[in-house]
Structure 1
């Protein structure tokens, strides 16, 4: 059964920018579906279309069997949405945020209190529930934003780069939440700029490049699909990168945190020559490892460039869209 069905989705903005160029997608019920791409590739635009925050220029998209254009209110009733930047009021407490959303969902006073207490406890926010959000850490804000998306027990949850800027402990806590949400029968559509996160959490991954889906497969399928091995040089110097680029080509090399990864697919026979050149040139290396391909290697192979997690984020939706797709239900958009 498909939770999301997208065919020929196209979105162009008034300035002529094409954000989505005939995207086709299908997300099954009960899976965590990863959506990867560099900033500007169209990830957030896809989420905004599927969550009914903006209309597509053309194409069709159905969420939980509902048309995102003609049945917007019904879609909003059944999904949860957490955007890149939490649309929170710094002068309200966490508890007040939750009660506001529960009220907009027309929950009774008794039901509202029980649900708010349950979510605060589940996300470890009970002790800070009555503090102003202005005093929250980034991790607390992210967790609160996730609780807002869950107030009405949605069947499908959109998480748009939910762990950006979080410390490792907070990231792991959100990973645990995603796993539990899926175990409870929910479906997650996850955009992320962390490839290890996609590899860890997702049942399937789609890689978006310049508004088009380049490939969709399981993490293992993606890695097996490109084949070959990857040579990793630790603490690689500019000289090492230059030598590697000369031997195997610049496109096969990408660097992250002092580790130079060299895609040897189809060029494994060049490894002895490369290592000999590095030795003869006196290039110092802290370590050399031959590894299987990672999702990062798949991404580089398909798009020609690495996914830089330090680039500025795509513009987030305005705080006026808060309500987690709720506040506009009564008047439409």
Structure 2
């Protein structure tokens, strides 16, 4: 079953800027679907269209079987949304935010109290629940925003770059939450510009380039599509030209002091290639050979790299998060 259906979505602003360029995709029930792209690629605008905050210039979108234009209120009632810029009042406490949203969602008083405590515990916010949001760290604010999105037990959750600016502990907590939420049967639409985040969390990834979808596939199949392994070595920009003469212009890239060369399939090509690179005057110190990554996929499709961030998996209050997500859906 498709939870999200987008057909020919197009968004152009009054100044002529095209943010979303005739985008088509579907999101299946129970998957984590990633929108991967640089800043300005159209990720947030797509989220705003799907969550009824912005109308597309043309095209159609259905969320949970509902047209996002004709059934705006119904869509909003059934989804959870955490935007990149959390809409929090610094002069309210975390608990007051939850109480306000619970009232707007018309949650029963008994269920409201139970659900609030589940979320505060699950996201490690119990000790700061009665402090003003003005005193919260960035990570605390992001976690509070996630609790607000989950309060009514949505079937579908939109997370717009949820780990941007977070400390490692908060990132690990959100990673753990996404996995637990999916295991409970929830569906996640995740926008990100972090390669490892998309590779680690997403069942499928859509790579965006200048508002258009360049490709959609699983992380594994995207990487398989590249072919062979990747040779990496420290180098200067001047090394790219002789390397290109050896392996071809499209097979080598230079970024951030590193030369990367795409190897043809087959283990027997490496010795002869290394000899030819050495003969061309390229120092072969610090050479590594790795499997293709989502970064290589992105560069092949767009010609540009993405921001790197190493994030380790882990969990914060994993048992509490499991209870929070597992008992929360449909709990209004």
Contact in 2 for aligned 1:254/1:306 (Cα 8 Å): no
Q: CA deviation at 1:306?
A: 0.7
Aligned to 1:271: 273
Contact in 2 for aligned 1:251/1:304 (Cα 8 Å): no
Cα-Cα RMSD:
2.2
Aligned to 1:308: 307
Q: CA deviation at 1:240?
A: 4.4
Contact in 2 for aligned 1:20/1:211 (Cα 8 Å): yes
Aligned counterparts of 1:238 and 1:63: Cα–Cα separation in 2: 47
Q: Does 1:147 align with 2:147?
A: yes
Relative to structure 1, the CA distance from residue 228 to residue 150 in structure 2 (aligned partners, 3 Å threshold; closer, same or farther) is: same
Contact in 1 for aligned 2:252/2:259 (Cα 8 Å): no
Q: Does 1:227 align with 2:207?
A: no
Q: Does 1:298 align with 2:300?
A: no
Q: CA deviation at 1:263?
A: 2.9
Aligned to 2:31: 31
Q: CA deviation at 1:226?
A: 1.5
> What is the TM-score with the length of structure 1 in the denominator?
0.85
Aligned counterparts of 1:293 and 1:254: Cα–Cα separation in 2: 16
- Consecutive unaligned residues of structure 2, counting only runs of 5 or more, are 310-332
Q: CA deviation at 1:33?
A: 0.3
Contact in 1 for aligned 2:6/2:60 (Cα 8 Å): yes
SS of equivalent residue, structure 1 residue 189 = strand
- Consecutive unaligned residues of structure 1, counting only runs of 5 or more, are 311-333
Alignment size in residue pairs: 305
Relative to structure 1, the CA distance from residue 109 to residue 198 in structure 2 (aligned partners, 3 Å threshold; closer, same or farther) is: same
Q: CA deviation at 1:168?
A: 2.2
Q: CA deviation at 1:191?
A: 0.5
Q: CA deviation at 1:273?
A: 4.9
Contact in 1 for aligned 2:4/2:27 (Cα 8 Å): yes
Q: CA deviation at 1:166?
A: 1.4
Aligned to 2:125: 125
Relative to structure 1, the CA distance from residue 260 to residue 182 in structure 2 (aligned partners, 3 Å threshold; closer, same or farther) is: same
Aligned to 1:54: 54
Q: Does 1:100 align with 2:94?
A: no
